[in-house]
Amino acid sequence: MNTGTAPTQEIQDIARKLMKLHVAGLRIGRIMSTEEVVAAAHERSTANLVSAEKAWSVCGDVSSLMFRALKGSHGPAFRVTVFGNGRDVYLVMTHQVLSLQHRFVLPLYDRKVQELLAHAMKRPIWFSFGDDAGEQGFIVRSHTHAHELRPVLAMAPNLDMRERDAAMNKLLDAMPELAHPARIPSCVRGQVVTHVSTTLIAPEGLSVEQASDGGLVCYLEAQ
């Protein structure tokens, strides 16, 4: 992880854990505001639609198996789950098709996550999925989730920089458990979850890029 100053032990631990989780299959995603989605849109129709809906997007790659299931479905089942307590709380947004789940994991202390939740009180959220084995993308246009997310927003803590680093470390420690099929109950009646694809939404200030050797390069911006 590259920082403007010498990294603290907390930051070194975050970098080490991210690398290990990446090798195990964790994907890193991000939140995009309406303006960011419009600027990145390749098709004018997409830019016009997101502008009209004023939608924010939760973005990340998924496994090829999950990607094919999402594209072939008539709409995935959806569940919102909050884990942790006190200052160490995080949100999991789960999509499920048959026995396959994808889980977006969002740190509730992060400013942009809190802005997303506040925006979702009145506007829709889009979920943008990329196939991690190719260049294809797929969007799930979601209804507003105010009734589900309002109590979640009320739980979001206000942390200083040191507390955020500590919370991120704890979240990374919890990621292997969050990737376990049994950790989130099935969203589809009669289906037992057999496959899980997991994407961590990087908190503000943390940039993660794919290196040429297949590893990760992590950057921490000054807060």
Compute mean pLDDT per 10 residues along the chain, 223 residues long, and list them. Answer: 55 82 86 90 82 91 93 91 88 96 96 94 91 84 81 92 88 93 95 95 74 61 53
> For residues 141 and 55, is the Cβ–Cβ distance under 8 A?
yes
| φ and ψ at residue 109, rounded to 5 degrees | -75, -15
* Cα–Cα distance for residue pair 131/142, rounded to 1 Å: 19
Q: Which alpha helices (H) appear in the chain, and where do they start and end?
A: 9-23, 34-40, 44-53, 64-72, 111-119, 146-155, 161-178
| φ and ψ at residue 131, rounded to 5 degrees | -80, 115
Total count of residues recorded for the chain: 223
Q: How far is CA 84 from the centre of its chain?
A: 16
Q: What is the pLDDT of residue 3?
A: 44
- Give the type of residue at 93: M
Residues contacting residue 176 through CB under 8 Å, at least 6 positions apart: 21, 24
Burial of 222 (0-12, 13-18, 19+ CB in 10 A): exposed
* Cα–Cα distance for residue pair 175/180, rounded to 1 Å: 9
Q: What is the pLDDT of residue 215?
A: 60
How is 39-56 classified by DSSP, letter by letter? HH-SSHHHHHHHHHHT-E
DSSP state of 96: E
